[in-house]
């Protein structure tokens, strides 16, 4: 068999050309147009699909491929018989074909349109009339003219199809046969580029049995070796033994799951790939049409999960192989896609922080995972997000912050809001709330008009964990350490830590809630701003005074728990102590009531819950007039019971989404907080409240 690669080589060479011309591999830095997914060439238009749109994925891949190379052959595979398509992947690669999905009795409109654009001269139908009926041939011929050569792989099961394609293309005496299980679509998917690269047939077995058609084809081929893709759950030891009885030289390449198996295949057969294809390991709809693309670029396929973290095996594989080109097949989520790119080009490095949540709370982001998500978000939304550190903790950890605004790099003088979480080490849910807000503002920008307007017209600063040392220390407990303060030692004392929310320089040490006892969880520290963490917050907020005006107008300090919205002053029970006008007090109560109607929390002046001194909200308001609130997240004290501060990761999604309205309102209100009492014209002359 002759493998024709010229057209594909041309396609790959185009990509290499771009990269060499720029001399750098970061697509953003190289100025290569980025999709919202942040992916460099060649990428299909990101397609979000709900389970019925595999057709669109195959169409977009075909369209992308045909930009740089002619497509003479199209393989039509069933949109529902996944295993049939697995068998077709490497065969299509051998034919330099592109793969399109079809329904049984009709060509979907977008597929028909793409066929017309591609104008292939040969059509290969994968499967018998039971999966793709003759009416599809009739339709294709009417679209493409009578000169179209149509070939049908008229075989029943996916095992039959694989054997038929092998028989069509290979003579006895091949070097290698690749074998995957028809029961694990993802193993078969990652096996495709291996088979193509080794010029090997791909045959299929069942997890627990060797189909006779596969055994017969193995006997006919008499290969030197067989490569099995998948662990013993995918292909049993018994099946392996049966194959060995035919071909003694059997090598199994596998990992503990589909992700690890894909990574093992990558390291065994693609030691230093220039390209990698990334596709979902959760939904089987996107990746298969990319097999010929991978084969042409001699690229392995790696698999991604849902959520915002790459599987460890995939991440390690990317870091190890450092591919220069990434092809993302199908919709894998913008943050995951950015991680794929970031780990490949080194813009995201392996996290060094080792403190993690226990397995039963792994839905929380640990510090390393949080940082990964922040960096990936910056890569995915370079125009909306910048990640920076406001300074270092006592133990030298960065205190990470996101700046979120359209045209984020340009100072347009927009009203600003600050959101911070985790002053108190054990209040894990706060970090998730901050990450939720970042996700809301970024992923909602393109789709939600309200979010769009706020991101356009405001600057939102989000500090995810003011107290990283305390957080890490808390995570080191088994389970957790019930830790509240930072980790700064105290002079002449063995007790560690300052309560950061007693350490701000407004009415510091006045005796209203904090104390001077280093062993206490409410120790206020040696002096106002004696903690590096509060200094970092202080200096950042001070830096937002520009031309004598504090840009930040609203603020929320996120804590757990109690389900409260609280406002200044915290140090006194008086409603309008020195520094608080009655209008300001009205703004606080009106805004609180509005937000409470959105999240269902109770609201009151913070001192009513209990007084505190050196509290961030008093300092923010007392120093700058910023309308500053404390949110105490889920649960209520009654729900929590006495002394419970930790809540299961199962509540994260619901309890963070619950604050969507209130947080967006607070961002909106930064335009002119006095609009809450109908006094925008008086207090914010010239500034549009919206």
Rule CB under 6 A: which residues touch ligand 0X9?
424, 501, 559, 566, 570, 606-607, 609-612, 615, 630, 632
Handedness of CA 471, 485, 507, 605 (dihedral sign): positive
User: Measured between alpha carbons, how far is 26 from 316 in angstroms, rounded to an integer?
Assistant: 19
CA-only gyration radius of the chain, Å: 30
Nearest Cα to Cα of residue 214 among 171, 170, 246: 246
Identify which of residues 69 and 437 has a Cβ nearer to Zn ion in the complex: 437
Taking the complex as a whole, the smallest distance from the CB of residue 636 to ligand 0X9 amounts, in Å, to 12
Choose the contact partner of 615 out of Zn ion, ligand 0X9, none; CB within 5 to 8 A by kind: ligand 0X9
For the window 375-414, what string marks contact with Zn ion as x by the rule CB under 5 A? ----------------------------------------
Choose the contact partner of 428 out of Zn ion, ligand 0X9, none; CB within 5 to 8 A by kind: none
The one segment of 2-10, 12-20, 418-426, 604-612 that binds Zn ion by CB under 5 A:
418-426
Choose the contact partner of 345 out of Zn ion, ligand 0X9, none; CB within 5 to 8 A by kind: none
Q: Which residue has the tokens 């790696």?
A: 302
Identify which of residues 504 and 624 has a Cβ nearer to ligand 0X9 in the complex: 504
Q: Which helix (H) or strand (E) holds 12?
A: helix 6-22
Choose the contact partner of 570 out of Zn ion, ligand 0X9, none; CB within 5 to 8 A by kind: ligand 0X9
Q: Strands of 98-102's sheet, edge to edge?
A: 98-102, 73-78, 122-126, 149-153
Number of residues that bind Zn ion (CB under 5 A): 2
Taking the complex as a whole, the smallest distance from the CB of residue 422 to ligand 0X9 amounts, in Å, to 10
Choose the contact partner of 566 out of ligand 0X9, Zn ion, none; CB within 5 to 8 A by kind: ligand 0X9
Taking the complex as a whole, the smallest distance from the CB of residue 492 to ligand 0X9 amounts, in Å, to 26
Alpha helices, DSSP H, located in 198-290: 212-221, 237-246, 258-269
Identify which of residues 54 and 424 has a Cβ nearer to Zn ion in the complex: 424
Structure tokens at 538: 């202080």
CA distances to 227, 239, 244 from 247, in Å:
10, 12, 5
Choose the contact partner of 607 out of ligand 0X9, Zn ion, none; CB within 5 to 8 A by kind: ligand 0X9
Q: Which residue has the tokens 């057209």?
A: 7
Choose the contact partner of 361 out of ligand 0X9, Zn ion, none; CB within 5 to 8 A by kind: none
Residue 167 annotated in active site: no
Taking the complex as a whole, the smallest distance from the CB of residue 534 to ligand 0X9 amounts, in Å, to 12
Identify which of residues 501 and 656 has a Cβ nearer to ligand 0X9 in the complex: 501
Identify whether 235 is preceded by a cis peptide bond (ω within 30 of 0).
no
N-to-C CA span, the chain:
68
- Cβ neighbours of residue 440 under 8 Å, at least 6 residues apart? 451, 660, 663, 664
Choose the contact partner of 573 out of ligand 0X9, Zn ion, none; CB within 5 to 8 A by kind: none
The one segment of 73-81, 146-154, 420-428, 456-464 that binds Zn ion by CB under 5 A:
420-428
Structure tokens at 649: 């990761």
Backbone phi and psi for residue 410, each to the nearest 5 degrees, phi listed first: -105, 135
Identify which of residues 365 and 561 has a Cβ nearer to Zn ion in the complex: 561
User: Measured between alpha carbons, how far is 437 from 445 in angstroms, rounded to an integer?
Assistant: 12
Q: Based on the shown chain and the rule CB under 5 A, indicate whether residue 555 belongs to the binding site for Zn ion.
A: no
Choose the contact partner of 300 out of Zn ion, ligand 0X9, none; CB within 5 to 8 A by kind: none
Choose the contact partner of 612 out of ligand 0X9, Zn ion, none; CB within 5 to 8 A by kind: ligand 0X9
User: Measured between alpha carbons, how far is 392 from 375 in angstroms, rounded to an integer?
Assistant: 18
Give burial (CB, 10 Å; 0-12/13-18/19+) of 267.
middle
The one segment of 298-306, 363-371, 416-424, 572-580 that binds Zn ion by CB under 5 A:
416-424
SS3 label, residue 29 = helix
Identify which of residues 440 and 606 has a Cβ nearer to ligand 0X9 in the complex: 606
Identify which of residues 114 and 615 has a Cβ nearer to ligand 0X9 in the complex: 615
User: What DSSP character marks residue 684?
Assistant: S
Identify which of residues 442 and 606 has a Cβ nearer to ligand 0X9 in the complex: 606
Choose the contact partner of 420 out of Zn ion, ligand 0X9, none; CB within 5 to 8 A by kind: none
The one segment of 383-391, 421-429, 521-529, 578-586 that binds Zn ion by CB under 5 A:
421-429
Q: Which residue has the tokens 């029943």?
A: 156
Structure tokens at 498: 């300052």
CB distance 214 to 163 below 8 Å? yes
Q: HEC states along 535-561?
A: HHHHHHHHHCEECCEECEEEEEEEEEC
User: Measured between alpha carbons, how far is 18 from 26 in angstroms, rounded to an integer?
Assistant: 12
Taking the complex as a whole, the smallest distance from the CB of residue 426 to ligand 0X9 amounts, in Å, to 9
Q: Which residue has the tokens 């299509």?
A: 92
From 64, 96, 369, 632, active-site residue: 632
Identify which of residues 158 and 467 has a Cβ nearer to Zn ion in the complex: 467
Taking the complex as a whole, the smallest distance from the CB of residue 510 to ligand 0X9 amounts, in Å, to 12
Identify which of residues 58 and 498 has a Cβ nearer to ligand 0X9 in the complex: 498
Taking the complex as a whole, the smallest distance from the CB of residue 237 to Zn ion amounts, in Å, to 54
Taking the complex as a whole, the smallest distance from the CB of residue 560 to Zn ion amounts, in Å, to 7
Strands (E), 230-363: 250-253, 275-280, 301-304, 325-329
Taking the complex as a whole, the smallest distance from the CB of residue 630 to ligand 0X9 amounts, in Å, to 4
Q: Based on the shown chain and the rule CB under 5 A, indicate whether residue 428 belongs to the binding site for Zn ion.
A: no
Identify which of residues 331 and 630 has a Cβ nearer to ligand 0X9 in the complex: 630
Which residue, judged by CB position, is nearest to ligand 0X9 in the bound state? 559
Taking the complex as a whole, the smallest distance from the CB of residue 643 to Zn ion amounts, in Å, to 14
One DSSP character per residue, 482-523 reads: ---S---B-TT-S-B---GGG-SSSSTTSSSS-BS-TTSTTB
Q: Based on the shown chain and the rule CB under 5 A, indicate whether residue 559 belongs to the binding site for Zn ion.
A: yes
Taking the complex as a whole, the smallest distance from the CB of residue 618 to ligand 0X9 amounts, in Å, to 8
Structure tokens at 291: 């097999």
User: Measured between alpha carbons, how far is 340 from 316 in angstroms, rounded to an integer?
Assistant: 11
**Which member of 424, 502, 551, 553 binds Zn ion (CB under 5 A)?**
424
Half-sphere exposure in the Cβ direction for 17 (13 Å, CA):
8
Which residue numbers are catalytic?
632
Residue ranges binding Zn ion (CB under 5 A): 424, 559
């Amino acid at each position: 068999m002759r493998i024709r690669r010229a057209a594909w080589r041309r396609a790959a060479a185009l990509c290499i050309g771009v990269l060499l011309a720029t001399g750098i591999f970061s697509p953003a830095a190289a100025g290569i147009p980025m999709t919202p997914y942040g992916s460099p060439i060649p990428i299909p238009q990101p397609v979000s699909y709900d389970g019925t749109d595999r057709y669109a994925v195959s169409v977009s891949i075909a369209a992308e491929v045909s930009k740089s190379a002619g497509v003479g052959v199209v393989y039509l595979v069933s949109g529902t018989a996944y295993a049939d398509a697995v068998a077709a992947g490497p065969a299509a690669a051998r034919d330099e074909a592109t793969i399109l999905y079809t329904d049984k009795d009709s060509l979907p409109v977008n597929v028909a349109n793409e066929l017309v654009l591609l104008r292939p001269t040969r059509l290969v139908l994968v499967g018998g009339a039971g999966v793709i009926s003759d009416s599809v041939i009739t339709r294709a011929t009417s679209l493409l003219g009578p000169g179209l050569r149509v070939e049908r792989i008229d075989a029943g099961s996916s095992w039959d199809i694989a054997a038929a394609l092998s028989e069509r293309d290979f003579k006895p005496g091949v070097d290698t046969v690749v074998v995957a299980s028809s029961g694990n679509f993802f193993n078969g998917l990652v096996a495709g580029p291996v088979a193509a690269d080794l010029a090997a047939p791909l045959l299929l077995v069942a997890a627990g049995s060797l189909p006779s058609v596969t055994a017969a084809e193995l006997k006919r081929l008499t290969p030197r070796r067989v490569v099995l893709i998948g662990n013993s759950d995918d292909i049993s030891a018994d099946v392996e033994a049966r194959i060995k009885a035919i071909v003694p030289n059997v090598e199994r390449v596998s990992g503990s799951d589909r992700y690890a198996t894909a990574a093992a295949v990558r390291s065994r057969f693609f030691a230093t790939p220039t390209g990698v294809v990334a596709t979902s390991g959760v939904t089987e709809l996107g990746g298969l049409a990319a097999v010929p693309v991978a084969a042409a670029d001699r690229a392995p396929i790696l698999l991604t999960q849902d959520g915002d973290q790459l599987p460890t095996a995939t991440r390690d594989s990317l870091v190890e192989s450092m591919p220069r080109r990434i092809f993302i097949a199908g919709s894998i989520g913008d943050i995951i896609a950015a991680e794929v790119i970031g780990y490949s080009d080194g813009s995201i490095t392996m996290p060094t922080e080792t403190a993690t949540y226990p397995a039963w709370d792994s839905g929380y982001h640990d510090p390393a995972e949080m940082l990964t998500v922040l960096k990936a978000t910056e890569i995915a939304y370079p125009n909306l997000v910048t990640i920076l550190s406001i300074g270092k903790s006592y133990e030298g950890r960065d205190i990470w912050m996101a700046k979120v605004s359209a045209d984020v790099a340009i100072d347009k003088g927009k009203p600003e809001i600050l959101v911070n979480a985790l002053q108190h080490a054990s209040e894990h849910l706060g970090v998730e709330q901050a990450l939720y807000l970042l996700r809301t503002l970024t992923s909602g920008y393109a789709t939600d008009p309200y979010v769009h307007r706020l991101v356009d017209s405001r600057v939102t600063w989000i500090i995810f964990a003011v107290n990283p040392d305390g957080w890490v220390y808390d995570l080191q407990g088994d389970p957790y350490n019930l830790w509240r303060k930072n980790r700064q030692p105290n002079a002449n004392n063995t007790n560690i830590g300052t309560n950061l929310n007693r350490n701000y320089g407004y009415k510091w040490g006045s005796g209203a809630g904090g104390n001077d006892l280093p062993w206490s969880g409410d120790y206020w520290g040696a002096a106002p701003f004696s903690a590096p963490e509060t200094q970092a917050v202080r200096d950042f907020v001070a830096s937002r005074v520009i031309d004598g005006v504090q840009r930040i107008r609203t603020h929320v300090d996120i804590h757990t728990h109690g389900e409260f919205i609280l406002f200044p002053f915290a140090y006194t029970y008086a409603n309008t102590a020195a520094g608080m006008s009655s209008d300001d007090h009205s703004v606080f109560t009106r805004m609180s009531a509005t937000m409470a109607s959105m999240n269902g929390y109770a609201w009151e002046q913070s001192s009513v819950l209990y007084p505190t001194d050196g509290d961030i909200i008093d300092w923010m308001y007392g120093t700058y007039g910023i309308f500053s609130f404390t949110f105490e997240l889920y649960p209520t004290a009654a729900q929590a019971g006495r002394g419970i501060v930790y809540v299961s990761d199962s509540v994260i999604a619901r309890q963070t989404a619950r604050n969507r309205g209130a947080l967006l309102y607070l961002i909106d209100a930064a335009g002119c907080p006095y609009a809450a009492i109908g006094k925008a014209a008086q207090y914010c002359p010239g500034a549009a409240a919206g």
